[in-house]
């Protein structure tokens, strides 16, 4: 498996990473019921074939995806795998989801993710979506503080547009950006890639197969009840 450096002075990551959105199971933006046994097996097989990083998030299954990842990597040497997760999407007891990147929310998110993943430090911690109600000085600044405290190694952003991305980068260098990018969704190529190249920000696109549409085997009969697609 080929590897590439993540951004400026970042780690060497396999060119293919493993996303875990689907393994979270049923939730507001879920992919329907999933077998945890199959999910754990898929994670371990991917590691055996050279994948060295996993991307997850608390909102995937409302914590369940992180728990499954934690079980799958429990016996894997910690320095052989790079774990990326996110913060800022929170939910209540009714399952209602909202964006919240206030420092105290981020602080709670990181502690819960560490607990679910059963690790001592998160390799890459990312804002999942921008929060229009919280200043980036507060939201991005909190990730900087977590890095300084040693709770996370690298910090990045997901779903950010150029203006706010640059603003964050001026506060503290952004290690990586995670935007949607596929043969169908190509806006990132013109709007974000040149800026990331200029600033030395790594790009780790999500949904490169357009959530299954580009696999060549996608049809409605394969969608479980509750699958957000």
Mean pLDDT of the chain: 91
Q: Sorting pLDDT into bands at 50, 70 and 90, what band is 226?
A: low
Nearest to 128 by CA among 105, 94, 151, 96: 105
Contact status, residue 156 vs residue 177, Cβ threshold 8 Å: yes
Q: Annotated catalytic sites, by residue? A: 60
Residue 6 lies in a domain: no
Answer yes or no: is 16 within a domain.
yes
Sheet of strand 202-203, all strands in order from the earlier edge strand to the far edge? 18-19, 53-55, 82-87, 122-127, 152-158, 176-178, 202-203
Rounded Cα gap, residues 64 and 25, in angstroms: 8
Does the pTM of the predicted model rise above 0.85? yes
- Residue 93 confidence class, pLDDT cut points 50, 70, 90: confident
For residue 123, the enclosing domain spans 12-212
pLDDT value of position 208: 73
Beta-bridge partner residues of 155: 125
Question: Residue 6 above 90 pLDDT?
Answer: yes
Residue 2 in any domain: the answer is no
- Whether residue 169 has pLDDT greater than 60: yes
pLDDT at 214: 52
Q: Which CATH number goes with the domain that contains 185?
A: 3.20.20.100
Residue at 122 is within a domain: yes
| Residue 7 within any structural domain of the chain | no
Predicted pLDDT at 5: 97
The structural domain count of the chain equals 1
Q: Give the pLDDT score at 34.
A: 78
Would you say residue 213 has pLDDT above 60?
no
- Do 84 and 53 contact (CB within 8 A), yes or no? yes
The angle formed by the CA atoms of residues 41, 45 and 49, to the nearest 5 degrees, is 170
Where is average pLDDT lowest: 14-28, 67-81, 112-126? 14-28
Q: Is the pLDDT of residue 16 over 80?
A: yes
Number of H helices, E strands in the chain: 7, 11
Residue 185 in this model has a pLDDT that exceeds 80: no
User: How confident is the model over 148-170, as a mean pLDDT?
Assistant: 98
Rounded average pLDDT over 155-167: 97
Q: How far apart are CA 221 and CA 116, in angstroms?
A: 33
Kindly tell me if the per-residue pLDDT of 82 is higher than 70. yes
Instruction: Please check whether residue 217 lies inside any domain of the structure.
Output: no
Q: What is the pLDDT of residue 220?
A: 66
Tens digit of each residue's pLDDT (9 = 90 or more) over 188-199: 888 899 999 999
Give the integer Cα–Cα distance in Å for 171 and 64.
Answer: 33
Asked if pLDDT for residue 229 goes beyond 60, the answer is no
- Whole-number pLDDT of residue 30: 60
Task: Report the pLDDT averaged over residues 142-163.
Answer: 98
Q: Is residue 161 part of a domain?
A: yes
- Segment 127-146 mean pLDDT: 98
Joined tokens for residue 203: 């790009």
Q: What is the pLDDT of residue 139?
A: 98
pLDDT of residue 35: 87
Give the model's pLDDT for residue 207.
78
The encoded tokens of residue 25 equal 């199971």
């Amino acid at each position: 498996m080929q590897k590439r450096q993540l951004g400026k002075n970042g780690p060497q990551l396999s060119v293919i990473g493993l996303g875990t959105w689907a393994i979270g199971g049923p939730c507001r933006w879920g992919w329907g019921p999933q077998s945890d046994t199959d999910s754990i097996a898929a994670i371990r097989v991917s590691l055996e074939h050279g994948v060295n990083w996993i991307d997850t998030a608390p909102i995937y299954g409302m914590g369940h995806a992180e728990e499954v990842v934690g079980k799958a990597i429990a016996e894997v040497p910690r320095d052989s795998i790079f774990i990326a997760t996110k913060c800022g999407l929170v939910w209540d007891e009714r399952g209602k989801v909202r964006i919240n990147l206030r420092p105290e929310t981020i602080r709670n998110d990181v502690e819960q993710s560490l607990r679910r993943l059963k690790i001592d430090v998160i390799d890459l911690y990312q804002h999942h979506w921008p929060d229009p109600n919280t200043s980036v000085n507060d939201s991005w600044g909190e990730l900087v503080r977590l890095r300084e405290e040693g709770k996370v190694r690298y910090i990045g952003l997901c779903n950010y547009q150029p203006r706010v991305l640059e603003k964050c980068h001026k506060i503290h260098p952004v290690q990586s950006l995670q935007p949607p990018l596929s043969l169908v969704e190509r806006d990132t190529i013109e709007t974000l890639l040149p800026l990331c190249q200029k600033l030395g920000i790594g790009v780790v696109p999500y949904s490169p197969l357009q959530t299954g549409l580009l696999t060549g085997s996608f049809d409605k009969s394969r969608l479980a009840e509750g699958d957000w697609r």
